[in-house]
Structure 1
Amino acid sequence: MSLVTSIIQKIAPQIGAVVVIDPEYELVGHITFKNGKKSLFSTNKLNINGFGSAEIAKDKGYSKFFLKHFGYKVTEGQTFFNHKVCARIGNGKNIDAGFEYAKNLGFPVIIKPINLSQGKLVTKIHNKTEYYQVAKKIFRINAGLIIERFYVGRDYRIVVIDDEIIAAYQRLPLSVIGDGKSSVAELVQNKQESFIRSVRKKLIDVDDFRIKRKLQKQNLNFNSIIPNGKIIYLLDNANLSSGGEAVDVTDSIHPDFQKLALNVTKDMGLRLMGLDIITQDITRPMVDYVIIEVNGSPGLTHYASIGDVQTKRVEYLYLKVLKALEIGYNNEN
């Protein structure tokens, strides 16, 4: 059973709601509120955001356009398409045009699918060979990709529900810490076992081409022995869904960044949102920042795995979501 499913089952009785979960996979549920209204959910996707706003948030290209329109600082980048889309719409922004753009932007750059989640295939590329390898991988499963300038700074997520900041945390890429005797492969296996024991249950994809490439750039491989205490990063992107880790800063986020997240939520027409930004320090006054993306259904399973305080924050978030859904439906009548 997913964390969200178990949380909804746990908190629904607090507002007199009844929850029915599909018995086979325990990922999809049906909620009947005390006032008789009903709602469905699938893992962390609930009917809290309007359909249009949720769809725009899911599309990295469109959401970036509107964020920039509202005056927010967004990553510099452009969208490119596979040959089928280019032929259909008469657009020349194909894979080759993407390389020319990346070259003019200046390597390294970030390349990512236009509408996939959880950091899938998000890659930092350094040259022409890497560009075409990754772009072709993306186009096999996705019609479009985004090429963005690479920004130096810390990666943060801020989670908002309506006018309240629920959580803020720094996201660190997947890494292992050496002990002076274990190989990278053994350290990865140990980390994987720790994930399985925790609520995360994240299986690290050891065949991910990005991990092998990241090790090579550090003159390492899976057989390398890492010195005691040395941290080796295995990915460039900091998504927790890719095995990254979170450092909670909810209690110390600066009001400047609180205001930024609340304003973005309103301007994007969302009620529940995860705002991903890069900045130097989210606990200090806002000098500079760049928005990576917005997420209309932020996954918080990995954040909750930090400890009891974080789990209670996630439970509080979903209690607010259920109350908002009940009140929202009630107001429609």
Structure 2
Amino acid sequence: MPLVTSIIQKIAPQIGAIVVVDPEYAFVGHITFKNGNKACFSNSKLNINGFGSAEIAKDKAYSNFFLKHFGYKVTEGKTFFSNKLCAKLSSERNIDAGFKFAKEELGFPVIVKPINLSQGKFVAKVYNKTEYYQVAKKILRITPGFIVERFYLGNDYRIVVIDDEVSAVYQRIPLCVLGDGKSTILELLQRKEQCCIANGRKKIIDFNDFRIKRKLQRQKLKFDSVIPENKTVYLLDNANLSSGGDGVDVTENIHPDFKKLAINVTKDMGLRLAGLDIIADDITMPMNNYVIIEVNGSPSLTHYAAIGEAQVKRVEDLYFKILKALENEQICI
């Protein structure tokens, strides 16, 4: 059963709410609160955020525009589109214009990512023309637009906010393996996947991911390479936990500057629940250098909860607050 569903079913009786879940997959459900209010959920999506705000947060280009308008530091980049959409929009921002922007205005390496997909799908760091066109064409096969943005050095963090409170903060580390001097990269990766599954995370490592193979090639490695003991090899550039990345909890250590930033961003974007993804040197220190990657209006915390019991408790506390908020408002469904 999905984590969110199981948590909602666990918490609902505490506030006298009744939950009905679809019997086949348990991905969607309906909640009736004691006071008669009703709400629905679908996987990690609950109607805690207004529709318009949630849609803007979902679109990386629109959310970046508004974040920049409000004075926040956001990634520098532009959107580009399929030929079909360019014709419809009377725009010249096609795949070739994207390459020119990457080469002449940003400089390689750059990040290329879909405009409206989640969980780090097809997000890639590209170093040259060949890689750029490979990634951009793959993206355009499944979605009509993509973003080319500057690559930023730093640590990747997610800050989860509900109303005026920061509920969880964690550093996201890209998919990697630690060598033991005798196992191949493939063997280490298979063990890592089994460990993820044992900890309650679903099968998330795609062994055929073109990005993994390219990352290995750049390091002059293959799946059958044996890694020296205690040497870390990174297999992806994006740090999404849903792609096999690891999470390090820093909730207790986040600096007040970053707390304030996350709460203000959530409010300015018209959201009540948000996951703010940022690049920063050190989130435990006073805020100096940072850049916002994106704002997620329905942050999934399944992989975060797999870190340990303390994280499960934080996720349960978060959903308790969400249910109380839904109970106390008249939600249109």
Q: TM-score range by the shorter chain?
A: over 0.9
Residue 10 of structure 1 corresponds to: 10
Shift of 1:229: 1.0
Which amino acid in the other structure matches residue 278 of structure 2?
I
Alpha-carbon distance in 2 for matches of 1:270, 1:236: 29
Q: Secondary structure in 2 aligned to 1:329?
A: coil
| Regions of 4+ moved over 3 Å | none
The question of 1:183 aligning with 2:184 is answered: yes
Alpha-carbon distance in 2 for matches of 1:110, 1:36: 47
Moved more, 36-45 or 144-153: 36-45
Residue 216 of structure 1 corresponds to: 217
Residue 87 of structure 2 corresponds to: 87
Q: Secondary structure in 1 aligned to 2:39?
A: strand
Which amino acid in the other structure matches residue 36 of structure 1?
G
Alpha-carbon distance in 1 for matches of 2:89, 2:277: 31
The question of 1:112 aligning with 2:116 is answered: no
Shift of 1:252: 0.6
1:202–1:241: 8 Å Cα contact kept in structure 2? no
> Any idea what the Cα deviations from partners look like across 1:7-53, whole Å, max 9, x if unmatched?
00000011000111111111111111101221111010000000000
Q: TM-score, normalised by structure 2?
A: 0.98
Which amino acid in the other structure matches residue 241 of structure 2?
L
The question of 1:171 aligning with 2:184 is answered: no
Shift of 1:89: 1.2
Which amino acid in the other structure matches residue 82 of structure 2?
N
Residue 60 of structure 1 corresponds to: 60
Shift of 1:203: 2.8
Aligned pairs for 1:1-333 (under 5 A) are 1-104=1-104, 105-329=106-330
Alpha-carbon distance in 2 for matches of 1:65, 1:20: 39
Which amino acid in the other structure matches residue 20 of structure 2?
V
Alpha-carbon distance in 1 for matches of 2:112, 2:137: 11
Shift of 1:202: 3.0
Shift of 1:243: 0.5
Alpha-carbon distance in 2 for matches of 1:91, 1:320: 45
Q: TM-score, normalised by structure 1?
A: 0.98
Alpha-carbon distance in 2 for matches of 1:131, 1:231: 26
Identity across aligned pairs (percent)?
72
Unpaired stretches in structure 2, ≥5 consecutive residues: none
Q: Secondary structure in 1 aligned to 2:4?
A: helix
Q: Secondary structure in 1 aligned to 2:274?
A: strand
Alpha-carbon distance in 2 for matches of 1:203, 1:277: 23
2:175–2:235: 8 Å Cα contact kept in structure 1? yes
Alpha-carbon distance in 2 for matches of 1:107, 1:142: 24
Moved more, 52-61 or 31-40: 31-40
Q: State the number of aligned residues.
A: 331
